Amino acid sequence: MGKRNLALLAATCVSIIYGVTFTVAKDVMPEYVGAFGFILMRVGGSALLFWLSWLVVPKEKIDRADFPRIIAAALFGVALNMLTFFKGLSLTSPISAAVIMVTTPIIVLVLSAIIIKEKMRKRKVFGIVLGLVGTAFLILYGKSVGSATNAGLGNLLVFVNAVSYGFYLILVKKLMEKYNAFTFVKWIYTFGFLMVLPFGWNEFHAIDWALMPTDIYLKAAFVVVISTFLTYLLNLISMKELSPSTVAVFIYLQPLFATIFAIGLGKDELSWVKIISAALIFIGVYLVTQKQAKTT
Q: How far apart are CA 42 and CA 199, in angstroms?
A: 13
Q: Indicate the SS3 state at residue 144.
A: coil
Domain contains 32: yes
Q: What is the pLDDT of residue 294?
A: 44
Phi-psi region of 183 (alpha: psi -120 to 50; beta: other; left: phi over 0): alpha
Those residues with Cβ within 8 angstroms of residue 234's Cβ, 6 or more apart along the chain or in another chain: 10, 11, 13, 14, 17
Least Cα distance to 162 among 101, 113, 109 occurs for 101
CA angle 92, 95, 98 (to 5 degrees): 95
Q: What is the pLDDT of residue 270?
A: 66
Those residues with Cβ within 8 angstroms of residue 102's Cβ, 6 or more apart along the chain or in another chain: 131, 132, 135, 136, 139, 251, 252, 255
Domain contains 294: no
Distance (Å) of CA 224 to CA 62, 227, 231, 290: 26, 6, 10, 32
Q: What is the pLDDT of residue 68?
A: 94
Handedness of CA 116, 121, 122, 125 (dihedral sign): negative
CB 270 within 8 A of CB 263: yes
Q: What is the pLDDT of residue 99?
A: 63
Q: How far apart are CA 99 and CA 174, in angstroms?
A: 29
Q: What is the pLDDT of residue 139?
A: 63
Q: Indicate the SS3 state at residue 214.
A: helix
Instruction: Name the residue range of residue 49's domain.
Output: 2-289
Domain contains 214: yes
Q: What is the pLDDT of residue 47?
A: 94
Q: What is the pTM of this model?
A: 0.76
Number of domains the chain is built from: 1
Q: Indicate the SS3 state at residue 264.
A: helix
Q: How far apart are CA 98 and CA 258, in angstroms?
A: 11
**b/e map of 52-82 (b: 16 or more CB within 10 Å)?**
eebeeeeeeeeeeebeebbbbbbbbbbbbbb
How many other C-beta atoms can be found within 10 angstroms of the C-beta atom of residue 281?
24
> Tens-of-pLDDT digits for all 296 residues of the chain?
578 888 888 888 888 887 787 677 777 877 788 889 989 999 999 999 999 988 888 888 899 999 999 999 999 999 998 898 878 777 766 656 666 666 677 777 777 777 767 676 788 788 878 877 877 776 666 454 445 567 678 778 878 888 898 888 888 888 888 888 888 889 999 999 999 999 999 999 998 888 889 999 999 999 999 988 998 888 878 877 777 777 777 776 766 777 777 677 765 566 777 778 777 877 877 777 666 544 43
Q: Give the containing element (helix H, strand E) for 66.
A: none
Q: What is the pLDDT of residue 115?
A: 78
Length of the chain: 296
Q: What is the pLDDT of residue 268?
A: 58
Domain contains 296: no
Domain contains 134: yes
